[in-house]
Structure 1
Amino acid sequence: MRKIKIFAFVPFVIGAAIVSVAFINCKSGAKTSHSDNLKFDGKGFALVELFTSEGCSSCPPADELVAKVQKEVGDKPVYILAYHVDYWNRLGWKDIFSSADYSKRQNEYARWLNLSQVYTPQIVVNGKTEFVGSQEERLRNAIKSSLQGSDSVQLNLSVTISANNTASVQYKVEGNAENARSVISLALVQKQAVVKVERGENGGRTLAHAQIVRNLQTMPLNKNNGSATIALPARVEAREWEVIGFVQKTSNGAVLAASKSLVKVSADVGQQDKNVQ
């Protein structure tokens, strides 16, 4: 149990210091409004990827932070993805949104960013910078810096829902996306959920989630336009969903472009999980 905790946070020697800094930043950030930090005065974009888990007691502040930022960004080109990793499941509570694919993706970032191990909560912005997911100032500064960038590559998406509850996604890439060394990823995102956690480090708590990745498909970018079909998960109530797509270099993880398209799930998708409100 202790070994998993050490693995899931940061190296033991510096772990306590980083977590302390994260809590200090969150506490001080709550005193003032930071909406100006999200001003869109450039041609860039920000893809924010959070790695989190319902089994991690340090993750709820990060979940709350990305939900807060999501409400503030409005129509700005800020795209938030919350991946629920599965390596915390062994501690007594299985996160219903978790997937080994998301843990694999986090380990891929560890390789790209030369990290010795993974931890939660972790945020990666545009595939280039990472930090503890509850650090509000660092997140806002990373978003602001990304929005001031350029848009040499653009991605356009359109999504339609078929009768068999699948999402058909059409994509088009404009600009120099270095196709031979890039991939396109399409994430089906559930906008929100509330879960009563019965066991584990968050046992007895009711947790609110935002921007939950429920399906992630990655394909080689062989040409600048194409399509993909994404199956909608079963046993969820009707609510607003969206598809977020992004183009990424396979050599270093840098994200070249991102976009999103809102979709609506029909009311007969199915029944929700008993723990999800």
Structure 2
Amino acid sequence: MSSFKIFIIAASLGFAAMITEAFIVIKDKDTLKVKTEADKGFAVVELFTSEGCSSCPPADALVARVQKETAGKPVYILAYHVDYWNRLGWKDVFSDAAYSARQQQYARWLNLSSVYTPQAVVNGRKEFVGSENGTLHEAIGSDLQRSSKTELSLNGLRENDGKAELQYQASGTPANAALVVALIEKNATTRVERGENGGRTLSHVQIVRKLQNVNLAGHNSGNVSIALPAGFNADGYEVIAFVQNTSNGEITAAARSGFSSAMSTKAK
């Protein structure tokens, strides 16, 4: 076989390999199944939702899928049930005015004229409609490759006299940093009787049940105590905490801990 023919065959095989690789990346873009050498960063996904909003169930279902797809990865999902839909016929049992206030704070940080549901915010820097599948996957994939100098670890999470207690240790925190600590109920189901979703049974994941802010102010280690809700079951809950710049909302580190394990977790 001539050297020219060999060159043509080799070039064709190389081109075919490039096409195949590109196809795999495009095919898996919306499922985060593309394997990388190592995740450099993390993604905190905050979803603002409500059982009274007919547009919210698709967003709730999306974050549930992402939760499964990203198991074992540094992806932290928090679902805040806002309270401003309650006046329209159905009171969301998971809603809290504090979560609506947090969404309003994001409107100020991100220079938005109004808030809405479902709204997703990733790492405090990018917001979009919470049911946008491609946008959410793209934001998560991008931030998993974005390194940070801040580190956070959680230790010793335990239930004690109706409270969750844990220790935290942070380093490389930005100026004006706060530690946001969320008590998360992993999943729940509600039969909605009235309102826009009346007659539907809704499933939820990663529901924020309690939220606490700790002003680090140069003190990058300490203890946190959070009151536990009625009916608390350690197996159904976890704690997610993250470091946030209170000047612009950017999240620079995150970690999680379960009640069933004495091991600490650490993430950049």
Match of 1:199 among 189, 194, 199: 194
Match of 1:150 in 2: 147
1:232 maps onto 2:228 in alignment: yes
The equivalences for 1:172-251 within 5 A come to 172-175=169-172, 177-178=173-174, 180-222=175-217, 223-236=219-232, 239-251=235-247
SS at match of 2:33: helix
Q: In 2, distance between residues paired with 1:204 and 1:31?
A: 35
Q: 1:106 to 1:137 in 2, by over 3 A?
A: same
Is residue 135 of structure 1 aligned with residue 132 of structure 2?
A: yes
Q: TM-score scaled to structure 1, two decimals?
A: 0.80
Q: Are the aligned partners of 2:243 and 2:251 in contact in 1 as well (CA < 8 Å)?
A: yes
> Does the CA-based 8 Å contact 2:234-2:259 persist in structure 1?
no
- Structure 2 distance, partners of 1:207, 1:38, is 32
Go from structure 1 to structure 2 and tell me whether the alpha carbon gap of 1:114 and 1:69 turns closer, same or farther (over 3 Å shift): same
CA contact (8 A) 1:248 1:254 kept: yes
> 1:108: which partner in 2?
105
- The answer to whether the 8 Å contact 1:165/1:232 transfers is yes
Residue deviations 1:93-131, cap 9 Å, x none? 000000000000000000000000000000000000000
1:38–1:144 Cα contact (<8 Å) kept: no
Question: 1:152-194: per-residue Cα shift (whole Å, max 9, x none)?
Answer: 111001243234231101100022x12x411101000000001
Counterparts of 2:39 and 2:114, CA distance in 1: 34
- What is the distance in 2 between the residues matched to 1:111 and 1:96? 27
Gaps of at least 5 residues in structure 2 are: 1-25, 262-268
- Where 2:190 maps in the other structure, the secondary structure is strand
CA root-mean-square deviation = 2.1
The verdict on how the C-alpha distance between 1:40 and 1:262 changes in structure 2, with shifts beyond 3 A counting, is farther
The normalised TM-score by structure 2 is 0.83
Alpha-carbon separation, structure 2, partners of 1:153 and 1:64: 31
**One-letter amino acid of the counterpart of residue 251, structure 2:** V
* Partner AA of 1:188 in structure 2: L
Identity %: 57
Do the aligned partners of 1:191 and 1:212 also contact (CA within 8 Å) in 2?
yes
Deviations 1:234-258 (A, max 9, x none): 1355642110000000110000111
- In the TM superposition, what is the alpha-carbon distance from 1:40 to its structure 2 partner? 6.9
Counterpart code for 2:94: F
Aligned equivalents of 1:168, 1:71: Cα separation in 2: 27
Distance between the aligned counterparts of 2:139 and 2:213, measured in 1? 25
SS in 2 for 1:233: coil
Gaps of 5+ in 1: 1-28, 266-277
Query: Aligned equivalents of 1:38 and 1:95: distance in 2?
Result: 38
Alignment of 1:1-277 (within 5 A): 34-36=31-33, 39=36, 41-175=38-172, 177-178=173-174, 180-222=175-217, 223-236=219-232, 239-264=235-260
Instruction: Name the larger-Rg structure.
Output: 2
- Distance in 2 (alpha carbons) for counterparts of 1:38 and 1:58: 32
Change (3 A) 1:30 1:247: same
Partner of 2:7: none
Residue type matched to 1:231 in 2?
A: A
